[in-house]
Amino acid sequence: MRKLKDILIWVFVVAYLAVSMSFVTKKRKLVVCQAINVTIMDSSRNQFVTQSDIIEFLRQPDMNVVGNPITSINTKKIEAEILNYYSVKNAEVFVNVNGEINVEVTQRKPIVRIINKKGESYYIDQEGAIMPLSAKYASHVLIANGHIVEPFEVNRTQKINCDISSEEFEKNRIICDLFKLCKFIDEHEFWKAQIEQVYVNDEMEFELIPRVGAHQIFFGDITNYQKKFRNLKAFYHQGLNNVGWNKYDKINLEFENQVICTKR
């Protein structure tokens, strides 16, 4: 008898849930999208994409959003469309029972602005993705210029290929070395504040232009780049702090364990 009672209780619970779900589903079908809420996760850092950009985009007739049932809104399609913005790293779209569509956008963070030998200019972000310049916003990042000749079409390439095992690596070596160097600078607050420009000379070696100090830093190639920065930082603290930051015209880091300076 008790077993039969337990079975009847479970049948009642399942039936109740089925009816409730059916009711919720019917009610959900009647809910119309009335509002768009957009959050740009890192708007204090960069403003390549704004709330108004996304709202304007979603209010286009072919997006099938405002004024339509929330059940008809394809959130995955909207996410894919928003990701077509070169400056967008991630997009999440979801709707709620109140008839609101919520969009959360994370922008890409550029670490360097490239000005190549052809005069073409673009950003590279932390992950090696190429970002075109924006007509309404300029990111204050490291500048790299000089003898930069890419083996790819700038306007058609989305990400540089720095996989050392790939066939393209040798062709991409200079831009990959430049990316590695700029990423290191960006990840260290001291160097991010100190280095404002990287110049690629005709020998495909790097020269750094600092913000503080009237000197030029001949860096050489990427070999032992972390050690070179350590040597330079030690020289700054132990040398330039004592003799003055404008005493030297050039600082050469090319040779291992040496910092060679040329006076003015």
Nearest partner of 181 among 166, 164, 198, 169, judged by Cα: 198
Supply the pLDDT for residue 35.
87
Closest CA to 144 of 127, 121, 126: 121
The predicted structure's pLDDT at residue 5? 54
Q: Enter the pTM of the model.
A: 0.81
User: Closest Cα partner for 34 from 78, 6, 85, 70?
Assistant: 70
The DSSP code sequence of 93-143 is EEE-TTSEEEEEEEE--EEEEEE-TTS-EEEEETTSBEEE--SS-----EE
DSSP 145: E
Amino acid at residue number 127: E
Q: Quick one: pLDDT at residue 24?
A: 41
Q: Which two tokens stand for residue 258?
A: 């040496």
| Residue 215 DSSP one-character state | -
Q: Which CATH class is domain 110-263?
A: alpha beta
Fold of 30-107: Ubiquitin-like (UB roll) (3.10.20)
List strand residue ranges (DSSP E) for the chain, in order: 35-40, 88-95, 100-107, 110-115, 121-125, 130-132, 142-146, 195-200, 206-210, 216-220, 248-252, 260-263
Domain boundaries, the chain: 30-107, 110-263
Residues 172, 125: contact at Cβ < 8 Å? Answer: no
Q: pLDDT tens digits, the chain, 264 residues: what are they? A: 555 555 545 545 444 444 444 444 444 456 887 888 999 988 778 889 999 999 999 888 887 788 888 888 888 999 999 999 889 999 999 988 888 899 999 999 999 999 999 999 999 999 999 999 998 899 999 999 999 999 888 888 889 998 888 877 888 899 999 999 999 999 999 999 999 999 999 999 999 999 988 889 999 999 999 999 999 998 888 877 777 667 778 999 988 778 887 887
Can you give the pLDDT at residue 13?
47
Half-sphere exposure for 83 (CA within 13 Å, toward CB): 13
DSSP assignment of 220-233 equals ESSTTHHHHHHHHH
* Dist. CA 149–CA 171, nearest whole Å: 10
